[in-house]
Chain A
Amino acid sequence: MTQQLHNLLNAVDVPADWIGLREVDERTTVRFIRDGHPQSNTRVKTHGIMVEVLVDGQFGYVGTNDISEKGIQVAAKKAYQQAKLAAKYAIHAFTDEARPKAIGEYKSPYKKTFDESSPGTLNELMVKASKVLKISDKVISTNAFAQIVDSKHRFISLNGSDFSQDFLMVTFDLVATAQNGTNINTRSAGGLRGLSRQIGAELFDEQWILRKAKEIGEQAVELTTAEECPTGTMDLVLAPDQMMLQIHESVGHALEIDRILGDERNYAGWSFVKLDDFGKLQYGSKLMNATYDPTYTGQFASFGFDDGGLKADKEYLIKEGLLMRGLGGKESQIRSGVPGVANFRASSWNRAPIDRMGNINLEPGDSTFDEIISSVKKGVYMESNRSWSIDDYRNKFQFGCEYGKLIENGKLTKTVRNPNYRAISNPFWKSLAMIGNHDTFKMYGTPYCGKGEPNQTIRVGHASPVCLFKDVAIFGGA
């Protein structure tokens, strides 16, 4: 593939200041069993090349499905024309500094390939899981879902970049919906397809999956007789699978430098964070340490280089509550003058890279789970996101979870259904009062982060300990 790509680049004949070819060859396989029967066994392959050129300070691109030599030559000429025509209106005059030379390779860590796990075996396991999920007649629907992505990326450029990245990623979910009269509740394995990571077929451990299926089925039934979550201002303890969403929406998107520069104002929105807040804004309490870490082994959005060629490194975004660094790739760093990270990413060959989240994690603290719970006089513990919404400045959010437990006088007591909370990002993070230790720290991710014009869905990872927030507006269902 690499030599072929070199041949294609060598054949391009346009007087551009910089040319890059980014090839993506990706196979997604879905195994989906619903109520014990196959709902979908799907293989989706996408293969194409993003041809990008720099002319008079303006980048132009053509994402093409025609990857023949002639096809790439035509694409390069069109990309050149697009850039040339746009240059007089360019928002910034770039140089090839925006596409640093990068050489190397990255491979996802895994123990077992999927060649060792046949479609039949995987279907059989998921049918079994589906049967275990249906723990009683109250369970009216079950899902067992697995998505395997085998994605090969190659990038070469006129200024000497040459790197390859081979990803193997798995998303796995189990879902049970239970009904008791008019009360219907759904429970899943982490919400938002949260069990997403870079891993191989070793994820499909039968004992673990069947144990998890039993727990989810039982909790779905338990929710049908649970009380509504109470309404009031009280303490909130969030499990790592809800912290995933909390970090994503009220830290990750808010710190994207392209948003702060206004690129997203017509779609995803702006940010309450300003360029001059970096190094000054107290984003959260002193306990808050948020990192951008594309080097975290096995996390969903780990990689070696971003799609502009910037090498991936771990960086502190927020240290002891102070905002240190933004989520901006090289283009945004040049435009803004703000320190950034390697996060200039595209969803596939047919989209141009923009600032995206990768892995954004909250570093663990010192408290045990029991210490956190025992410190709460009145509050709610919540697991697994099911509803999310936040304003275009990333201020006013409202999130809902699948499963809640009352905390009364330092103890977890009754299960509650429809737990929701709402707050404003900056004061909410300042109310972070306790942060769990390594034993409470768990890694999640999701394939569904949407942003950009044209729109792009990208994979992100978030790891977090259990966290306690003080005095939050909590409420139940309709």
Chain B
Amino acid sequence: MEQIFNKISDRLYSNLKTGEHLTLSLDGENSQFIRVNNAKIRQTGLVNNADLAFDLIYNNRNCQGQITLSGDYDNDYKRAVEELNCLRAEIVQLPEDPFIVLPENTGSSRASKSANGLKTDQTVDSLLPIMAGVDLVGIWSSGRIFSGSSNSAGQKHWFDTETYSLDFSLVNKDHKMVKGTFAGSDWNQSKYEAYIKDAKIKLELMNKKPVKMKPGKYRTWFESKAVSNFLSMFSYQGLSEANIRQGNSAFIKMRNEGKKLSSLFSLNEDFRSGLVPRFNERGEIAPEVLSIIEKGNLANTMVSSRTAKEYKVKSNNASGDEVLRAPQMAIGSLADENVLKKLGTGLFISNLHYLNWSDNIGGRITGLTRYACFWVENGEIVGPIETMRFDDTIYNLFGDKLEAVGDNIKINPEVETYFGRQYGNITCPGMLVKSFELTL
């Protein structure tokens, strides 16, 4: 598909009319998905897709298009020309856009990573046997994902990688669950089987007598995954500069009212792992490392070139939707082996579920506990808790109430697949807070 993308790009750019500027981007996948319920196969299949997106600028006007590519160059070039001609017919009817940013050539890049993963005809017999004897439910996703970007100023980027993930839950007879995600690039059967065996052992912890909690404020340790659940909300009506300017962000109080988070909390955009392309859909390269929250202070927000032009600020080449693409939270000093002792009596939360801003401007988030969440007394796990709703603010949890941050950073891979398989992860340690409010 890289060759087709390059050939279409070159040919379309060479035939552009005077005054036209064009950016093309490609996103696609060759994926295998196997859905498992009760350690049996519910659905199995493959998906091949490639979407070519157009961004045309002409006479201070701008419009976008997208088509599906088939993998046959002649057919795809014909589709691309038809789409470009439709955009040309439309663009002259549109109002002027004062915030257009013309494409530039700031350099090109190429990164391609192949892996020794499971072949699609090996997957079932590699995955299923070790699942026997336990209620496992989840999704296997694997294969190649790819992205390209080019523009009429001569810039070109390509990124492709092969990955896999088995994102799963183990369920005991009382419907208590533990979560696991076995993800990577090269397949290692013995490591996989060890991971599943370890998850089965964790499930035994859930056999302890459940503890019924009452609403109230509790001292709480959040495992890395639970912290990543909070951090994922920072990309939704959060750290986008446009959202802050337009009155839809939980961080407005930090910008306008001088609010601060805890000096123990720092967050970066960090692309050094190479797992995520640094270029955005316009082909602009993000800084390798960008400080977002520096010891509790708002150091940078996510600023796209369009937002930069509109609000006369400097772009940091964020994507158009100004989300975090490679978030990494700084570690603290609390060692894993000291977590329960330091927590003393309180909640041990491994995962959260269905987070949403209950008061976006106030920075308040609601959601639920899920999976392996325990009540701890005097440093000892008493038992799993029933599902509880919480409602608390980031200014408490990452601010005044943050007591300690773990020293063990973990990678939480992105496993969502709404618009195709995704790159990336949220990398963060766990954290201990003095107070976490349960409400129902």
Chain A positions near chain B (C-beta within 8 angstroms) = 34, 37-38, 40-48, 58-68, 71, 75, 78-79, 81-83, 85-86, 89-91, 118-120, 123-124, 127, 140-141, 177-179, 182, 184, 186, 261-263, 265-267, 269-270, 350-352, 354, 387-393, 395-396, 398, 400, 418, 420, 422, 424, 450, 453-457, 473, 477-478
**A263-B35, A391-B389, A478-B362 given as contacts; is B46 within 8 A of A68 (CB)?**
no
Whether B247 and A186, one on each chain, are in contact in the complex, defined by CB atoms closer than 8 angstroms, is yes
Whether A63 and B48, one on each chain, are in contact in the complex, defined by CB atoms closer than 8 angstroms, is yes
Whether B416 and A60, one on each chain, are in contact in the complex, defined by CB atoms closer than 8 angstroms, is no
From A90, A182, A265, give the contact of B256 (CB < 8 A).
A182
Interface string of B89-100 (1 = CB under 8 A from A): 010011101110
Query: Closest Cβ of chain A: how far from B5's Cβ, in Å?
Result: 14
Query: Is B169's CB within 8 Å of the partner chain A?
Result: yes
Chain B positions near chain A (C-beta within 8 angstroms) = 31-35, 37-51, 61-72, 75, 83, 86-87, 90, 93-95, 97-99, 120-121, 124-125, 128, 135, 137-139, 141, 167-169, 171, 175, 177, 179, 245-248, 252-253, 256-257, 353-364, 366-368, 370, 387-389, 391, 393, 416-418, 421, 439-440
Query: Closest Cβ of chain A: how far from B393's Cβ, in Å?
Result: 6
Query: What would 21 A/B residue contacts be, using CB atoms closer than 8 Å?
Result: A38-B62, A38-B95, A41-B94, A43-B64, A59-B44, A61-B43, A65-B49, A65-B69, A68-B70, A89-B39, A89-B128, A124-B95, A182-B257, A262-B137, A263-B35, A266-B139, A266-B168, A387-B358, A390-B354, A392-B354, A477-B362
Compute the total of residue contacts between A and B using a CB distance below 8 Å. Answer: 254
Whether B389 and A186, one on each chain, are in contact in the complex, defined by CB atoms closer than 8 angstroms, is no
Task: Tell me the interface secondary structure of chain B in the complex.
Answer: strand
Whether B87 and A43, one on each chain, are in contact in the complex, defined by CB atoms closer than 8 angstroms, is yes
Whether B49 and A453, one on each chain, are in contact in the complex, defined by CB atoms closer than 8 angstroms, is no
Residue of A nearest to B76 (CB): A65
**A42-B64, A453-B35, A453-B138 given as contacts; is B46 within 8 A of A422 (CB)?**
no
**4 additional contacts, CB 8 Å, given A390-B354, A453-B417?**
A265-B177, A266-B169, A387-B357, A389-B358
Query: Closest Cβ of chain B: how far from A210's Cβ, in Å?
Result: 18
Residue of A nearest to B47 (CB): A63
Query: What CA separation (Å) do A83 and B72 show in the bound complex?
Result: 27
Residue of A nearest to B169 (CB): A266
Query: Closest Cβ of chain B: how far from A329's Cβ, in Å?
Result: 13
Whether B94 and A58, one on each chain, are in contact in the complex, defined by CB atoms closer than 8 angstroms, is no
Residue of A nearest to B97 (CB): A38
Whether B368 and A42, one on each chain, are in contact in the complex, defined by CB atoms closer than 8 angstroms, is no
Query: Closest Cβ of chain B: how far from A427's Cβ, in Å?
Result: 12
Query: Closest Cβ of chain B: how far from A255's Cβ, in Å?
Result: 18
Whether B40 and A454, one on each chain, are in contact in the complex, defined by CB atoms closer than 8 angstroms, is no
Query: Closest Cβ of chain A: how far from B126's Cβ, in Å?
Result: 11
Query: Closest Cβ of chain A: how far from B355's Cβ, in Å?
Result: 7
Identify the interface centre among B98, B248, B257, B440: most chain A CB within 10 Å of its CB. Answer: B440
6 closest A-B pairs (Cβ-Cβ)? Answer: A478-B362, A120-B93, A61-B45, A453-B139, A141-B246, A454-B417
**A66-B48, A79-B46, A124-B95 given as contacts; is B418 within 8 A of A85 (CB)?**
no
From B247, B357, B418, give the contact of A455 (CB < 8 A).
B418
Q: Which residues of B contact A66 (CB under 8 A)?
A: 48, 70-72
Q: Which residues of B contact A178 (CB under 8 A)?
A: 247
Query: Closest Cβ of chain A: how far from B268's Cβ, in Å?
Result: 27
Whether B47 and A263, one on each chain, are in contact in the complex, defined by CB atoms closer than 8 angstroms, is no
From A79, A266, A354, A478, give the contact of B359 (CB < 8 A).
A478
Whether B125 and A85, one on each chain, are in contact in the complex, defined by CB atoms closer than 8 angstroms, is yes
Query: What CA separation (Å) do A86 and B187 show in the bound complex?
Result: 20
**A44-B66, A58-B41 given as contacts; is B364 within 8 A of A454 (CB)?**
no
Q: Which residues of A contact B67 (CB under 8 A)?
A: 45, 47
Q: Which residues of A contact B139 (CB under 8 A)?
A: 266-267, 453-454
Identify the interface centre among A46, A82, A390: most chain B CB within 10 Å of its CB. Answer: A82
Q: Which residues of A contact B47 (CB under 8 A)?
A: 62-63, 350-351, 454
Residue of A nearest to B177 (CB): A265
Residue of A nearest to B34 (CB): A86
Query: What CA separation (Å) do A43 and B70 show in the bound complex?
Result: 18
Q: Which residues of B contact A63 (CB under 8 A)?
A: 45-49
Q: Which residues of B contact A47 (CB under 8 A)?
A: 67-68
**A41-B63, A63-B46, A63-B49 given as contacts; is B387 within 8 A of A392 (CB)?**
yes
Whether A37 and B99, one on each chain, are in contact in the complex, defined by CB atoms closer than 8 angstroms, is yes
Q: Which residues of B contact A89 (CB under 8 A)?
A: 39-41, 124, 128
